[in-house]
Amino acid sequence: MTIVRLGYVAMSVELKNASPSKTMTYAQFQKIGDREAAIRKLERIALANLENTHRLLKHNASKDIHFYRLTSRLIPLANHEDLPDWNYIKPLKEKLSELGQFVEKHKMRIDFHPDHFVVLNSNKKNVLLNSLKTLKMHYLLLKGMNINPMHRCVLHVGGNYQETEQSLERFVDNWMEVPRSIQKMIMLENDDTSFTMEDTLYLCEKLGIPFVFDYHHHLAHHQNENWIENWERAIGTWKESSLPIKMHISSPKSKEQFRHHADYVDVEMFFKFLKEIKGTVPEIHCMIEAKMKDEALFTLMKQIEKREDIEIIDGSSFYLR
């Protein structure tokens, strides 16, 4: 039997006043006349974000949720060009360590999915350098939590620039600019407009990167293509990882807005995928990308509990029969 574990992204609908993404714009930073005072305020915001992250992790533990995506907005202005001397990790060390201990104690899988401006196949040097700075921030946060950064950061391939083959090869060329420690952190996901499952698998196999299959993206991009024939290839990209294979699940908002994420997950659409992969892997972690966040997970589990082809393990996990 295959174990399926569900996770959700960043925010909780059920837990109130717990945003881990409070921020400060650079314009607001500049309005504070004293630079040191402004930096201290940034640090207080970052610490508040980590405190709320801790609340979210406690919430997850109480609901038997073992899989969670951290927001990439924990530290506002962390990589701003006018703050190159700010050691943003130092004031957060104690809290990061506390978070890491909690994650370890409750055996949770946590990871990141940086924003779309992280583009490793960019043809602009400054975009690549800024992307590497952002990835380094994610690396430092994981190290601060004493969590092995390996395979903890999902990225899209990047920009297509109306030339798929050249864009893929530019990713390969730019990969040589990525420090080895950052390379080990990366997973790659297929997207809904530019890079297909096969495109992304090409890079994953060539560069030794785990592939994260986004089922909804695949359907949006190539509704008639058979993903099942490439599933064994996807599994193969995880052979060097200590973590179970992961995928993303979401549902279309409507026929007209097929690419947009719905509030909840269509259980029949999800099980159409699960029926195909049952038995091919011992365990799979499925990240729910739905507007209703943890509420989407709870709703999906209530629907799953009524099925006869599963066996419930806990509040977010089940066996496929």
Q: Please tell me the distance from the alpha carbon of residue 117 to that of residue 282, in angstroms, as a whole number.
A: 34
Torsion of CA 89, 92, 97, 103, to 10 degrees: -100
Residue 217: the pLDDT is 94
Mean pLDDT over each residue of the chain, to the nearest integer: 96
Domain segments of the chain as ranges: 2-320
Are 11 and 321 within 8 A, CB to CB? no
Residue 226: the pLDDT is 84
Using 50, 70 and 90 to split pLDDT, how confident is the model at 104?
Answer: very high
DSSP alpha helices (H): ranges in the chain? 26-31, 35-62, 93-105, 125-144, 164-175, 180-183, 197-207, 215-221, 231-236, 267-277, 293-305
Q: What is the pLDDT of residues 261-304, one digit of tens each?
A: 999 999 999 999 999 999 999 999 999 999 999 999 999 999 99
Domain 2-320: what homologous superfamily? Divalent-metal-dependent TIM barrel enzymes (3.20.20.150)
Report the b/e string of 165-188 with b at 16+ CB within 10 A: eebbebbeebbeebeeebebbbbb
Rounded to two decimals, the pTM is 0.96
Q: Please tell me the distance from the alpha carbon of residue 23 to that of residue 5, in angstroms, as a whole number.
A: 31
